[in-house]
A and B are shown apart, each in its own frame.
Chain A
Amino acid sequence: MLLEVSAEKRFGNFLLDAEFALDCKRCGIFGPSGSGKSTLVHMLAGLLKPDRGKISIAGTPVFDAARGINIPPEKRRVGLVFQHSHLFPNMSVQANLYYGWRRTRKSDRKIGPGALTTALNLDHLLKRDVNSLSGGERRRVAVGRTLLACPRLILLDEPLTGLDAELKSQIMPYLKKVFTEFDVPMLFISHSLQEMRLMTDEVLIPENGCCRKRMSTEELARSSMTSVPRSYVNLLTLRRPQAHNDIWIYSWGDEKLRLIEPGEPGDNLFELGASDITLFKRHPEATSARNILPCKVVEIFGSGGRVGVELEGGGGRLVSQIVHESVRELDIQNGSELFAVIKASAFRKIC
C-alpha cells in the first residue's frame, strides 16, 4: 500500500478527518477550496502535525501519535510542488534544481539530473536567474527540483492554477512525460476536473474536511455529468494529422477523424464534449457534419435529462450525452448499433 492515512486535525471549528488508503501511482485529491486539501497535503509532507492518528508511506510509518513517531519533513522523502512554484530567489535555476539532489543519499538518487533537465526542456535555462523565468518555466523548474530530490511520493498542490489555458497546455505534456518516464508516485491536488482526468486514475474527494470518499477518475467525470452545467468531456488522443483541403485528417485507432484544428506530428490530445456527439439509428446520408462513425452501445448511465451512452467504435470508446426521451425513441440498449455524428469543429485541442 502506497499511502495509508488515518488522522485528524482540528483548527477552531474545522475538523479534518482523513481515513483512506491509496495504492495507485497516479492519484488525485479533488475538491473545492476549503475542503481540507491543503491541510491534508501539509500533514502528509510533515509540515503540519496531526492531532491524532497515523500516516504511513510505502509501509513505513511517518507519523504515529500513539507510538510518538513524527518524522520531520526533511527525512520523509515526500516531495511537494507548490502552487506558485516558490523557487529560491537567491539561487540560479541550476542551484534550485540541485538543492534537493545534493541532500539526497547517493543510494536514493534514482533520477539522473541530465535526463530530467532534458525531459523538462530546462537545459538552456540552467545558468539563468530564477527571477527572469516565465510562468511556465518556473513551474517546470519547480517540478524538476522536487523530482530530483527523488521522493517516495510527490504531492502536487494545484501546480497549474493561475496559468492560462495556453500555458497549461504547454506544461501538461511535460508533467505527463516526466511522471511516466521517471515512475514517481504522485498525489495531484486540483479543483479542475480536466487536470484530474489528464493526470490521475483515482481520486480522493474531501468534503467539508472529511477525506474518505474515493473513486476512479472516470467515475468522477461521469458522476459530474449530472451535477455540473457542463457535460461529460471525452479526451481523445489523435495522431498523424494530414492536411486535406481546408481540414485535417487524424488517425484515431483504425478510424479517421476530420477536424478543423491543426496538430503536431506526434500525439495530440483533444477534448470532445459528450453533447457534441449526435446519435443516428441509420447512416445519415447527407449531413454537414464531417465525421460519421459506426459504433456499438456498451453502457448506458445517468438518468433524466442527461443520459450517457458509452459507445465502442473503431478508434476506441466515446461517451455521447443525450436525453432520456431519445433513448426511448431510438430504443437504445446495450449492444445497439448506431452512428455517432460529430462536426469537424467540435474538437478542442488541449495539448
Chain B
Amino acid sequence: MLLSPQDMQAVWLSIKVATTATLVTAPFGFGIAYFFSFARMPGKYLLECLVNLPLVLPPVVVGYLLLLFFGQSGFAGPLLKFFDLRIIFTLTGAVIASAVVGFPLLVRAIRIGMDNIDIHYIQAARTLGAGRLDTLLTIILPLSGRAILAGMTLMFARSLGEFGATIILAGNIPGVTQTIPLAIYDYANTPDGDRMAMSLCLVSIALSFAVLLASEALARSFRKGSADAP
C-alpha cells in the first residue's frame, strides 16, 4: 500500500472539503453571477471587485483576514460563541477558507456563460408569459448549465489545492484539517518524507485528472442544452 492511514485520511478530507465548499457555494455563485450579469445598479463594479478580491490577494492574507473575522475578538466571534460554534482549527474552517478563495473563480465562469446567453431568449420567455423567476429557472439556468459546471470544476480543483488560507484558518491537524497539500507540506519538511510526498502527489494528479474527465463528460451531455441556435 502506497498510502498510510493518515494519508488516506488526508485524501478523504481533501475530497470532503472540496465537495462541501463547491456544493455550498454553487447556489450563491449562481445568484451573484445572475446579479452581475443582469442587474442594473450603480456601484455594481465596486461589488464585482470585492467578490474578485480573493482571486488576486495572497491566500495567506485571505486566511489571516478570515482568522481575524472568526476569531474570539473578531466581528463574528461573539455570535459564534453564542451558538457555541467553532470555525478556527476545524474542518468547517477549512471549507470556509476553500470557499472564499475559490468563489471568484466560480462566479467568473458562470457569469461568462450568462453574458453569452442571447437576450432574445429571455425576451421571448417574458413575452410568452414567464415572469423573472420563471425565466431564470426555465431559460437562464439550463442555458448556463455548462458554465455552472465549468465554474464548479474550477472551484473544486482550486479547493483541492488550497493551502495558504487553510493552514492559517484551519491549521494543519492530521485527521482533522490536514488535506493533501498540507500533508505534502509536512512530508517535505520531514527527513525521508520524499517517497510519501511523491505518492500523495500522484494521488493529487489522479484526483485532478478524474475531475477534469468527469467535467468533460458532463459538459458533453450539456452541450445540446446550451448550443446556440443557428
Contact = CB atoms under 8 A, between A and B. Distances in A.
B129 A47 contact: no
Interface string B49-74: 00000000000000000000000000
B215 interface: no
A86 B121 contact: yes
B221 to A, nearest CB: 12
B126 A130 contact: no
A74 B126 contact: yes
A244 B126 CA distance: 55
Interface stretch (B167-175, B197-205, B222-230): B222-230
Contacts, number: 82
A130 B128 CA distance: 17
B131 A84 contact: no
Interface string A126-141: 0001110000001000
B134 interface: yes
Contacts of B131: 72, 74
Contact of A99 (B130, B145, B228): B130
Contact of A89 (B125, B127, B130, B143): B143
Nearest to A79: B127
Contacts of B138: 99
Contact of A88 (B125, B126, B134, B145): B125
A103 B134 contact: yes
Contact of A100 (B118, B120, B123, B128): B128
Contacts of B128: 74, 79, 99-100, 103, 145-146, 149
A87 B229 contact: yes
A234 interface: no
Contacts of A138: 229
A47 B128 CA distance: 12
A80 B130 contact: no
A133 to B, nearest CB: 9
A138 B226 CA distance: 17
B27 interface: no
A129 B139 contact: no
A138 B225 CA distance: 17
Given A103-B130, A130-B229, A145-B128, A84 B224 contact: no
A104 B128 CA distance: 8
Contact of A129 (B127, B143, B224): B224
Specify the main secondary structure of chain B where it touches its partner.
helix
Interface string A88-115: 1110000000011001100000000000
B124 interface: yes
B142 interface: yes
Nearest to B131: A74
Contacts of A88: 121, 124-125, 139
A85 B127 contact: no
A80 B129 CA distance: 11
Nearest to A86: B120
A308 to B, nearest CB: 40
B123 A89 contact: no
B118 A86 contact: yes
A279 interface: no
Interface in B131-165: 131, 134, 138-139, 142-143, 145
B225 A89 contact: yes
A131 B227 contact: yes
A73 interface: yes
A74 B126 CA distance: 5
Contacts of B134: 74, 103
B127 A45 contact: yes
A87 B125 CA distance: 10
B223 to A, nearest CB: 10
The winner among A90, A103, A138 for most chain B CB atoms within 10 A is A90
Contacts of A79: 127-128
A74 B129 contact: yes
Interface of A: 45-47, 72-80, 82, 84-90, 99-100, 103-104, 129-131, 138, 145-146, 149
5 contacts: A47-B123, A75-B129, A78-B127, A90-B145, A131-B227
Interface of B: 118, 120-121, 123-131, 134, 138-139, 142-143, 145, 224-230
Given A72-B131, A79-B128, 9 more contacts: A74-B126, A75-B129, A76-B127, A80-B123, A82-B123, A89-B225, A130-B229, A138-B229, A149-B127
Which are the 6 A-B pairs with shortest beta-carbon distances?
A: A103-B129, A100-B128, A73-B126, A90-B142, A86-B120, A90-B225
